[in-house]
Amino acid sequence: MEYALLGVVGIVMVVAVASFATRLGVAAPLVLVVVGIVTSFVPGVPDFDFPPELILAVVLPPILYSAAVNVPLVDFRRNLKAITGLSVLLVIVSALVSGGVLYLLLPDLSIAAAIALGAVISPPDAVAATAIGKRLGLPPRLVTVLEGEGLVNDASALVLLRSAVAATAGAVTFGEIAGDFVYAVVAAIVVGFVVGHVTVRVRSRLDDPVLNTAISFAVPFIAYFPAEEIEASGVLAVVVAGLVTGHRSASHFSAQDRLTERINWRTVQFILENGVFLLMGIELKALVDQVQDDDLGVGRAVVLGLIITGVLVLLRVVFVVPLIAVLRRDQRRAVLRGERLDGALERLDRLDGAADASAAGLDEDQAARRRQARRFLTRRRADAEFLTSEGLGWRGGAVLAWSGMRGVVTLAAAQSLPSDIPYRAQLILIAFTVAIVTLLVQGGTLPLLIRGLKITGSDAAADRAELAGLYDTIASTGLATLDNPSLEQTDGAPFSPDVVERVREESLMLSEAFAERSEAEGTRPHAQHRALRLLVLQAERAALLDARASGEYSSRILERAQYMLDLEESRLTQLRDESM
């Protein structure tokens, strides 16, 4: 009963703080940490000791899965070098260096135990950074790199932590640690890939969106627990399963399945992500009390935490400088590669033209190889264009370097340290200090840095023009279906010509609506149509409420009518919001 009540109070606090933070223009996680700290010192509030294994095994998998399904696999692949550097190499370097500093400062601490804490405090949490970045309009590529880093770095840190903890219990060679790391990563990728594909195929056979979404809630744990059982990285398996699911959902799930899952998972992600930041603050008092019972005291632990925070910030800055240099080099190479790919596509066009002019033409195998080659070259050309047009400069690098805020994984992993490690209570408080200071200092000043550097995101007008071009391409394919002479209904009967023309007109009107989005809002005919249709829907909804109050119609008919109005209003509202 106590946990249920705390859960209800926690949800109310999360919603209230998130709403308040939005009005202030501050990231909700920062405010929630402060609210949690203040709450922990209120007289009468009990100490709340949430088991760390529940955070790592129950809370973390759905958080990572909900984030992974929303990261486009194409963007993740295009930024794989930056993501891998930040989430693997930087995590390892940060763990070793910060662990070495702790080993020098705490004489009774073994090097393995010091590196274990280094692994705990090495992975940043991208929740606050991406929330700030999206609100302030960071470039999409920068947001993708931060999201990708946040997805993978927890896996790197936890695998490294497991190896370091094993080293504290006995002799472990460097080769064994490296082998364990490679095995944990490779096995996790295989498990996540298999789970992602299998669960997508199973869910695609369900016709009920409720059942589909219900299974989706189990997918993170279906990936996590088998991977952990074979001593692979459970969190990395969850991320891979999420990426696979997000990529294949467009071709295997219905529109209603995707819409339902998106809303439900956004709600789960909101509650869990923000709830764990509130939990971080609430646990402060209990941590302080534990350290006060020890000989070293709170003051020294906090000072050590501040020193380690400085080391981590400096390491990230030093690491990002050559990373940006490498990415800028890749950008220059992409320009040359794009020119070569343009030449290859032109040669392929000439070959296709010659084949069309030839009386013999191409057989099916040759045509299939040509299509495959064109698809490959087009994709590579798009990759080169992406690197050329969305390069990361020194201003983006500055934001990347300052986005090293730690989160709840740091605190939960610290509390999972073995009980026989010297200075355990102090080590946990050091980890907590690192997380709180980076969240409040870096997270609090990140908006100032973004505004000061005058970083702008994607051009809204260019995005609307690209969207119009995309819809024009897919609409032309859809309209071609109407000209198919074999077009018929499921029972073999032909479609009425009037119906065919009506569908053609609706498709053309939608295409025109996309094309006119670059115009001023007030001059768009389709924007006026949406505004007028919403006014009509408001009147219809008022009439529906009167009909319900009169009792003249059955409840099931009223529910169907309300559902139809809800669908139409939701569609028009979304179109209105996207056009702004």
Q: What single-letter amino acid sits at 17? A: V
Asked if pLDDT for residue 579 goes beyond 60, the answer is no
Specify whether 465 is located in the same domain as 380.
no
Query: What is the pLDDT at residue 89?
Result: 93
Specify whether 414 is located in the same domain as 359.
no
Specify whether 77 is located in the same domain as 117.
yes
CA–CA gap between residue 275 and residue 228 (Å, rounded) = 25
pLDDT in tens, 402-445: 988 888 788 888 888 887 788 888 888 899 899 889 988 888 88
CA–CA gap between residue 200 and residue 221 (Å, rounded) = 15
Specify whether 362 is located in the same domain as 509.
no
Mean of pLDDT values over 236-247: 93
pTM: predicted TM-score of the whole model, two decimal places: 0.84
Of residues 543 and 284, more confidently modeled: 543
Specify whether 122 is located in the same domain as 250.
yes
Query: What is the pLDDT at residue 361?
Result: 57
Which residue among 359, 388, 417 closes a domain?
388
Specify whether 358 is located in the same domain as 476.
no
DSSP annotation of 387 reads H
Specify whether 102 is located in the same domain as 75.
yes
Alpha carbon dihedral 359, 364, 367, 371, in 10-degree steps, equals 160
**Contact criterion met (CB below 8 Å) for 219 and 138:** no
How many helices and strands (H and E) does the chain possess? Answer: 25, 0
Asked if pLDDT for residue 541 goes beyond 70, the answer is yes
Asked if pLDDT for residue 337 goes beyond 80, the answer is yes
Of residues 355 and 485, more confidently modeled: 485
Asked if pLDDT for residue 133 goes beyond 80, the answer is no
What are the residue ranges of helices labelled H in 283-393?
284-292, 297-357, 364-389
Asked if pLDDT for residue 359 goes beyond 60, the answer is no
Specify whether 426 is located in the same domain as 553.
no
Instruction: List the one residue out of 570, 208, 565, 279 whose CA is nearest residue 435.
Output: 279
User: What count of other Cβ atoms lies within 10 Å of the Cβ of residue 424?
Assistant: 19
Q: Is residue 423 left, alpha or beta, with left meaning phi > 0 and alpha meaning psi from -120 to 50?
A: left
For residue 138, tell me if it sits in a domain. yes
**Contact criterion met (CB below 8 Å) for 128 and 151:** no
Asked if pLDDT for residue 522 goes beyond 60, the answer is no
Specify whether 162 is located in the same domain as 300.
yes
For residue 106, tell me if it sits in a domain. yes
Q: Two tokens at 8?
A: 């209800």
Under the banding of pLDDT at 50, 70 and 90, the label for residue 519 is low
In sequence order, the 6+-apart residues with CB closer than 8 A to the CB of 90 are: 122, 153, 315, 316, 319
CA–CA gap between residue 304 and residue 284 (Å, rounded) = 17
Highest mean pLDDT among 142-156, 158-172, 554-568: 142-156
CATH for 281: 1.20.1530.20
Mean of pLDDT values over 15-37: 83
CA–CA gap between residue 235 and residue 241 (Å, rounded) = 10
Which value, in Å, is the radius of gyration of the alpha carbons in the chain?
A: 28
DSSP annotation of 495 reads P
Asked if pLDDT for residue 578 goes beyond 60, the answer is no
- CA dihedral sign, ordered 548, 554, 555, 556: negative
Total domain count, the chain? 4
- The percent of residues above 70 in pLDDT, for the chain, comes to 91
Specify whether 506 is located in the same domain as 401.
no
Specify whether 18 is located in the same domain as 127.
yes
Specify whether 44 is located in the same domain as 151.
yes
Which residue among 388, 415, 440 closes a domain?
388
For residue 488, tell me if it sits in a domain. no
Query: What is the pLDDT at residue 218?
Result: 94
Q: Two tokens at 176?
A: 């064994």
Lowest mean pLDDT among 110-124, 330-344, 546-560: 546-560
Under the banding of pLDDT at 50, 70 and 90, the label for residue 101 is very high
Which residue among 348, 363, 388 closes a domain?
388
Residue 161 sits at φ, ψ, to 5 deg, of -60, -45
CA–CA gap between residue 409 and residue 238 (Å, rounded) = 15
Asked if pLDDT for residue 277 goes beyond 90, the answer is no
For residue 490, tell me if it sits in a domain. no
Residue 75: C-alpha distances to residues 153, 182, 376 (Å): 17, 24, 17
Range of the domain at 574: 524-580
For residue 491, tell me if it sits in a domain. no
For residue 489, tell me if it sits in a domain. no
